Structure formats: C-alpha cells, structure tokens
C-alpha cells in the first residue's frame, strides 16, 4: 500500500477494483469514486462557490474532489442548521446536499479527463466560531491539507497499517475531514462511510473487521469503558485517535489498562491544523510537536507555531498559553480568549451572549462555564420589562425553555445553557463592566 499526495488521488493509478470504502458492509471501489467524482464535476460550473453539506461521508468526499476538479470553490459551514446557512448565504452560490449529489451522479454531463489537482489553487473554506461573534472563515489550500496527511502517514501510518477506519465523529470539521476522509484516501486505507455514534454499534462494526483504526473524541471515548466491553473493542483496534479537547486522564488510563496503550491524542485547531501529539501515561500530560511543526513561547506566554499546514511561513500565535519542558515538549496552560469547547464543539461565549441580548425579553446576558463532572454552560440574564412580565406569566422553567428554543436556530443542543439565573442587572465591577468573578456565586 503506497500513499499518494492528495493532488494525485484522482490520477494515482490505484487498482480500480480495489475497495476504497464500505457502506453498510457493501464495498465501494476506487472506480466508483473516480467515476462519481468525474460525473459530478461535469455538472459543476468553474468559479462557482459550493457549500458542501452532505451527511454521507462518501458523497461529501466525492463532492469535495469534484469541486476541486471543476475549478470551483468549496466551503463547509460549521453546521447545516437553517439559520447558519441563511447567515452564510452570501458566502456560497449553491448547496450540495445528499439529494443534490445523488441527482448529479445519476445524470452527469460528459466528464473531462482526470488531471493533477493544483495544490495552490484548490481551496476549501471552513467556518468556525470566532471569538468576537460571527462565524470566522478559514481558507485551507490543498497543499496544506496534503502536507498534513503526509505527516500523519509518516508518523502513524505504520501503526494503522491496513486497518479499516471507523469513526465516531462527523466529517464536517477539520479533525473529521482529515482523519476520516483525506488521510484514508491519501493512504489507500478503507474507511466506513457511516459514523458509529452508539457504542454498541461501534463494537459490532469492529467485530466484523480484521482490524480498525478508531477516530473518536474525548467525550465519546471517555464513556466507552462504562458502556461496552472495551478489551473486546481494543483487541481489534490497531490505532485509536482522539482530538477536539483533552482526553481525561482516567479515560486514558482505562484504555491503557484494557488494550496496553492510551489513545493517540492530537492537539490542533481549524486554523493551524495538527500541532502536536501525546499519549498520556503515569500522569504525563506533555505534548510533542508533530514532525515539521516548530513550537515555542510567544507574546504573553502564547504558543507560537510555525507549520507547513499554515497558509504561509508567518508564525501563528495560538489562543492557548504554553509552558515548555527541557526536552522540547510543552504543557498547555489554558485558553487566552473567550472561546470554549463543550463536548469537542467550539463556542464563542461573546457570540451567544449577543444572540441572547438581541432577544426582546432580555437587556443583557453573560455566560460562564462551571466545572462539574462535565463542564456546564450557565447563563446569567438581565430581564427587560417584557421579560419580567413573561417570567411572571410563564414561570422560570417555561421561560428557560423558550430562550433555549430561540437559541436552537444557531446552536446545537450541546451548546445551549443548562443552568440559568434571572436578574434585574448583571453583577458589575466598579468600572461598570460585567463582574465575571462574582457570577459563579449566583450558582
């Protein structure tokens, strides 16, 4: 099995009858992939901007390479909720969902000859929550993505071997996109099209395969020891990867005890791509920079990154503070902005505060995250006159539920406040700013 640069995937000369992916146990071959890409590309217009929102990972991969092949522009919203797509409407010309892609595959135009993709011209725009409010667009050139999957294969490909890739994460963010789709396509490694969100489904899928590479998240992996026969799963697992946040130390220890090795954790972001890796053992929390990535301490203790996965050679100052060890590894010391992660999903506290403040029942809002068994998003809201009238009429529970329903236009359920406090005025400092140090006391 030989890896290909992503630019060469469509002309790499792989055996057309070789299996590229599995959908419900049915093989999908490289001929299926190349034919589907060529067919869809023939229906696309050069220069047009396409939003890729297919829920099916195979169709998403077909769409992405078809857009690149057609010299069009690809973008991936941070979710496919109606309000999100409406807010990004000026960023794309047409959305490609599952139904639209199947229709194009059924009635393709005349396909052009396959060619090497241009690593500089082929681009993908991802959207993620910025620290100041509106979704932030991040452009990734194909050469950046290709460089990253090449590093992943050199670093961890031998351990993954020819194991089939199973995932518990979606493919619409940078981690899922790289590890579920682009790395397997580059390496020629079979991947399962459907994610396995239910632990029992994951175990059943792994049992039917000779070996698996498991792509998961900390929130999901940390629950597996309590829910399934973890040794049975790990007996089939060649490589287990976790990203999106730190894996709890007790979960890492449980995996090591059940399978001999803690999961491979990847630290990075949409902007930077992968930065560093670790496997926790005996309380060791330090991160090792990935090959070709140079890390140091920058301004105000920020992690400073120089990487081929960035758009240029300019250093990137991360939102995380870092402390370096004598051996070149580093410890993370917490975020320096007001973007937090809840169940591996990024949330701008400032953005959601503004959404709440725009509601006619509220004059102002402040959010905070309180540590518990899992981090809990809490809201302190100052009611307007209309809001006070609604609270009196509906009661606290119904008022909270109404505000949560309002937020679902922009946010998934895991990103909604779980605890609420209604006040006349937000606690303030002597300078008239929200007194965030006083707010935990309200809970």
Same domain, 343 and 321: no
Question: Is a pLDDT exceeding 90 seen at residue 36?
Answer: yes
Averaged pLDDT, 365-384: 86
Give the list of residues 6+ apart from residue 62 with CB closer than 8 angstroms, or none: 33, 36, 37, 40, 101, 105
Question: Is a pLDDT exceeding 90 seen at residue 120?
Answer: yes
Same domain, 386 and 330: no
Which residue, chain included where needed, has tokens 């509601």?
Answer: 359
**What sign does the dihedral 309-315-317-321 (CA atoms) show?**
positive
Residue 204 lies in a domain: no
Q: What is the pLDDT of residue 373?
A: 55
Same domain, 254 and 240: yes
Q: Which of 292, 315, 337 marks a domain boundary?
A: 337
Question: Is a pLDDT exceeding 60 seen at residue 31?
Answer: yes
Count the neighbouring beta carbons within 10 Å of the beta carbon of residue 111: 17
Per-residue pLDDT tens over the stretch 275-298: 999 999 877 899 999 999 999 998
Per-residue pLDDT tens over the stretch 128-153: 755 444 678 999 999 999 999 999 99
Residue 150 lies in a domain: no
Same domain, 415 and 313: no
3-state secondary structure the chain: CCCCCHHHHHHCCCCCCCEEEEECCEEEEHHHHHHHHHHHHCCCCCCCEEEECCCCHHHHHHHHHHHHHCCCEEEECCCCCHHHHHHCHHHCCEEECHHHHHHHHHCCCCCCCCCCCCCCCCEEEEEEECCCCCEEEEEEEHHHHHHHHHHHHHHHHHHHCCCEEEECCCCCCHHHHHHHHHHHHHHCCCEECCCCCCHHHHHHHHHCCCCEEEEECHHHHCCHHHHCCHHHHHCCEEEEEEECCCCCHHHHHHHHHHHCCCCEEEEEECCCEEEEEECCECCECCEEECCCCEEEECHHHEEEEECCCCCCCCCEEEEEEEEECCCCCEEEEEECCCEEEECCEEEEHHHHHHHHHCCCCEEEEEEEEECCCCCEEEEEEEECHHHHHHHHHHCHHHHHHHHHHHHCCCCCHHHCCCEEEEECCCCECCCCCECCCCHHHHC
Q: Which of 312, 337, 362 marks a domain boundary?
A: 337
Averaged pLDDT, 15-30: 95
Per-residue pLDDT tens over the stretch 73-91: 999 998 888 888 888 899 9
Give the list of residues 6+ apart from residue 314 with CB closer than 8 angstroms, or none: none
Same domain, 2 and 129: yes
CATH number, residue 240: 3.40.50.12780
Residue 262 lies in a domain: yes
Residue 152 lies in a domain: no
Averaged pLDDT, 313-323: 88
Question: Is a pLDDT exceeding 90 seen at residue 321?
Answer: no
Same domain, 306 and 380: no
Task: Go through 159-173 and write b for each residue having 16 or more CB atoms within 10 A of its CB, e for each that does not.
Answer: ebeebbbbbbbbbbb
Per-residue pLDDT tens over the stretch 239-270: 999 998 888 888 899 999 998 899 999 999 99
Note down the domain range covering 288: 220-337
Residue 147 lies in a domain: no
CATH number, residue 83: 3.40.50.980
Same domain, 390 and 290: no
Q: Which of 298, 322, 337 marks a domain boundary?
A: 337
Residue 213 lies in a domain: no
Same domain, 55 and 21: yes
Q: 322 pairs with which residues across the strands?
A: 332
Question: Is a pLDDT exceeding 70 seen at residue 229?
Answer: yes
Averaged pLDDT, 197-204: 94
Count of domains observed in the chain: 3
Same domain, 173 and 59: yes
Rg from Cα positions in the chain:
23
Give the list of residues 6+ apart from residue 364 with CB closer than 8 angstroms, or none: 357, 381, 382, 426, 434
Same domain, 269 and 372: no
> What is the band of 372 on the pLDDT scale with cuts at 50, 70, 90?
low
Residue 64 lies in a domain: yes
Tell me the whole-structure pTM to 2 decimals. Answer: 0.81
Residue 51 lies in a domain: yes
Same domain, 18 and 106: yes
Distance CA 240, CA 386 (A): 52
Same domain, 169 and 228: no
Averaged pLDDT, 44-50: 96
């Amino acid at each position: 099995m030989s890896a290909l640069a992503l630019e060469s995937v469509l002309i790499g000369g792989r055996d057309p009858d070789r299996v590229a992916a599995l959908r419900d146990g049915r093989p999908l071959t490289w001929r299926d992939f190349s034919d589907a890409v060529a067919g869809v590309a023939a229906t696309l217009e050069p220069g047009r901007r396409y939003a890729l929102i297919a829920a099916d990972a195979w169709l998403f991969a077909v769409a992405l390479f078809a857009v690149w092949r057609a010299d069009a522009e690809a973008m991936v919203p941070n979710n496919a909720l109606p309000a999100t797509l409406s807010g990004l409407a000026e960023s794309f010309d047409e959305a490609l969902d599952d139904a639209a892609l199947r229709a194009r595959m059924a009635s393709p135009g005349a396909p052009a000859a396959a060619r090497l993709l241009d690593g500089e011209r082929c681009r993908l725009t991802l959207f993620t929550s910025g620290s100041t409010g509106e979704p932030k667009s991040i452009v990734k050139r194909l050469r950046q993505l290709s460089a990253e999957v090449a590093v992943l294969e050199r670093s961890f490909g031998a351990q993954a071997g020819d194991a089939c890739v199973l995932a518990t994460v979606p493919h619409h963010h940078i981690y899922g996109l790289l590890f579920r789709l682009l790395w397997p396509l580059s390496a020629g490694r079979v991947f399962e099209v459907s994610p396995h969100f239910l632990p029992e489904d994951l175990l059943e899928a792994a049992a039917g395969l000779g070996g698996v590479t498991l792509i998961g998240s900390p929130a999901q992996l940390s629950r597996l020891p309590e829910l399934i026969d973890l040794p049975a799963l790990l007996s089939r697992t060649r490589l287990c990867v976790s990203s999106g946040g730190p894996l709890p130390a007790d979960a890492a220890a449980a995996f090591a005890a059940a399978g001999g090795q803690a999961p491979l954790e990847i630290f990075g972001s949409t902007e930077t791509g992968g930065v560093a890796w670790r496997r926790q053992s005996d309380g060791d929390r330090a991160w090792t920079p990935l090959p070709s990535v140079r890390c140091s301490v920058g301004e105000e203790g920020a992690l400073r990154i120089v990487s081929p996965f960035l758009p240029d050679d300019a250093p990137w100052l991360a939102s995380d503070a870092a402390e370096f060890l004598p051996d070149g590894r580093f410890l993370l010391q917490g975020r320096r902005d007001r973007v937090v992660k809840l169940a591996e999903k990024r949330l701008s506290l400032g953005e959601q505060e503004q959404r709440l403040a725009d509601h006619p029942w509220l004059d102002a809002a402040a959010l905070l995250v309180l540590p518990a068994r899992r981090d809990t998003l809490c809201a302190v809201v100052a009611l307007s006159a209309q809001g006070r009238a609604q609270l009196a009429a509906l009661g606290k529970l119904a008022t909270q539920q109404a505000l949560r329903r309002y937020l679902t236009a922009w946010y998934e359920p895991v990103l909604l406040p779980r605890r609420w406090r209604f006040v006349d005025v937000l606690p303030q400092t002597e300078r008239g700013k929200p007194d965030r140090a006083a707010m935990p006391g309200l809970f």
